[in-house]
Amino acid sequence: MLNHHTLLAALAAAATLLILPTGTTAAPTGTTTTTPPPNLTAASPLTTHTVVAGRGGLRFDPDNIVATPGSIIEFHFLPANHSVVEAAFDAPCVPKDAASFDSGFFPVPARADGGAVQSGEVFQFVVRDDGKPVWFYCAQGKHCKGGMVGVVNQDLGSGKLLGGFRELAGRFGGVVAGVQGRVVGGWRGENPNPLAGF
């Protein structure tokens, strides 16, 4: 025969099972656990920054990009022939080192009617660290010396700014070059929007 305390404990356990909300179960030890709600947090999608090489003359447009780590910088190329190569601030117009990104050249014939045309391929690289500026230039002929340079995440407090980099490029007296005449440090791929009309 059940004593008074055992009967009350059995009735309390039965009542708990009857009033538990959906998704809640009673553990045999008398404790309850609740199923957590679904996680509604999602990772932010990657951002792609588009840069056009050759719009408005010997320029990258834009030539000053602010991008978070993991962002993609995607270069589109207009006539006639451009490239993009990573440099060091103090040594523009030459590759920073053997691991510098280099797109290789993108020859694009101009249209006879003067209409907009761009390469069927693009070059992309991933921003690794927003605390370190990434300087770049076009290795075609005198383009770098003519001011066709740019930067990702310039450090405003360092005194090394895009205007200074462009000035150093204009005074460059060496031979402008790419890394090794091949694609390094990024990807060449099909242009996702070749009819964009840059």
Q: Which residues of 10-46 are buried (b: 16+ CB within 10 A; e: fewer)?
A: eeeeeeeeeeeeeeeeeeeeeeeeeeeeeeeeeeeee
38-70 tens-digit pLDDT: 555 555 567 999 999 999 889 999 999 999 999
Q: What is the pTM of this model?
A: 0.75
Of 11-20, 72-81, 170-179, the range with the highest mean pLDDT is: 72-81
pLDDT score, position 96: 92
Three-class secondary structure of residue 85 per DSSP: strand
What is the overall mean pLDDT for the chain? 82
pLDDT score, position 40: 55
CATH of domain 43-198: 2.60.40.420
Is there a cis peptide before residue 95, judged by omega within 30 degrees of 0?
Answer: no
pLDDT score, position 18: 43
pLDDT score, position 45: 64
- Domain spans, the chain: 4-34, 43-198
117-163 tens-digit pLDDT: 999 999 999 999 867 999 999 999 899 999 999 999 999 999 999 99
**Cα 93 to Cα 117: distance, rounded to the nearest angstrom:** 26
Q: What is the DSSP letter of 100?
A: -
Q: Of 17-26, 30-39, 79-88, which range is least confident?
A: 17-26
